[in-house]
Structure 1
């Protein structure tokens, strides 16, 4: 079992490819409708008695799901669960267990018998696993799970692939080119090696960029940093049995390898599997998102 299976998600060489998705966030916001909770946003209208929740990746927001959700052919209502740090940069959660409790509260499930589907991409898969475990313990019914190029809920395997400098570059990708160049120059000249050092330089005014872009990147840095710490601390011995699960991974993966990797966590649960061409980020965009959308639609409707 190779590390690429455990987390193709956060490899530094792939992080730059998130830029277009993040820069398009302002346009995608039109498709993301706020609900009563600022953590739960409506991605697709549908049957409220059959909700499906997509939980955020390491960026903390749900904009990366919009293209995929637009490909879904289902009557179900689709929500996204975003980090509290998206709306309030000072409210950062650095524990997956704490996130899970907050997100369960945000879902505001009406009864313990309401059947739901949980989905997560990348770090969102880890959070989805924890949310599912807790909901089951509370007596809720989890109808299905959807895990997209998901990190295993195994800190030892995940942390070896997370690179702080890769996260620095990821945070820089949300601002325009001119500001990005100013930040990159500061990072190189001052040998900045982690997100804390970058945030300190921004706050102290050592990087000359507009206040708007400074605010954007500080928020991104704080979200990435808190989510990184949450992944770093997460350890679980929980296991979920017999919940139909769709696994989608970037690139060619052997189904038996996937089942073997997830067996300690999802025993006898992986019922559907899809390998999609592309890398961790491109699979959330067209044309790969179209293939994933068809597989998810079929899984949801059957």
Structure 2
């Protein structure tokens, strides 16, 4: 869902393939290690497109996985023509890792990520008790058909926690030897924490993890940057690097 509008904005002759995380369907448990995720996804894309070159783009946590995929492809002497990350947080040092999020915080994040959150909902939740906030969020999520298609809520929360564990434990074995294109959302992102604060997604210092980092500021916040009309600017940036 996240990349559909972006794919529609790219050139008609530009093929786009999406990779679905393990755990959304079937009985498989979600992976909790970025190295394992990247190895699995590299196997999938090289089976589909064995000769390359490869253009990789990932948003948020997906960008961190794309970064490791690029490293694995390059180590296998495969050409990575483009590595682009959309508002992706850099690997976190062990001493800087945040606390474990509460259930209500995860639910709010899920709702925003699915594109169904509203700024009025954020304000509404601040006046509720923790128990009422949790009930209200579950009510909103179960009413959303787009979220319902992802399976039961417990499974989705399990994937969120698995991805978080994978991101916080990830440290790349070596920097990326090529150029990294980083798309940074300009808007202030609303997330729910214990104090009900508004804060920006912290991207961290990608500059130390790649030979060259090209930063591009794009409209929207972390959750709206891939929606119209914001997504058109992301597509224009990517087209320049794709040469289309």
What is the TM-score of this pair, normalised by structure 1?
A: 0.58
2:222 aligned with 1:283: no
Task: Report the counterpart of residue 247 of structure 1 in structure 2.
Answer: 182
Distance 1:171 1:227 in 2: 13
Task: Report the counterpart of residue 45 of structure 1 in structure 2.
Answer: none
Alignment of 1:94-105 (within 5 A): 94-105=32-43
SS in 1 for 2:70: helix
Aligned length: 207
Alignment of 1:125-144 (within 5 A): 125-144=63-82
Stretches of structure 2 lacking an aligned partner (at least 5 in a row) = 118-124, 188-203
Distance 1:148 1:90 in 2: 27
Q: Is the 8 A contact 1:149 1:249 kept in 2?
A: yes
Distance 1:299 1:162 in 2: 38
SS in 1 for 2:158: helix
- How far residue 283 of structure 1 moved from its aligned partner, in angstroms, is 0.7
Of residues 190, 206, 215 in structure 2, which corresponds to 1:262? 206
Distance 1:110 1:69, change over 3 A: closer
Task: Report the counterpart of residue 15 of structure 2 in structure 1.
Answer: 77
Distance 2:95 2:57 in 1: 21
Distance 2:76 2:174 in 1: 14
Stretches of structure 1 lacking an aligned partner (at least 5 in a row) = 1-62, 178-183, 193-197, 203-208, 253-259
Q: Is the 8 A contact 1:116 1:144 kept in 2?
A: yes
Task: Report the counterpart of residue 109 of structure 2 in structure 1.
Answer: 170
**Higher strand proportion, which one?**
1
What is the TM-score of this pair, normalised by structure 2?
A: 0.71
Distance 1:166 1:299 in 2: 36
Task: Report the counterpart of residue 8 of structure 1 in structure 2.
Answer: none
- How far residue 151 of structure 1 moved from its aligned partner, in angstroms, is 1.3
Distance 1:114 1:156 in 2: 35
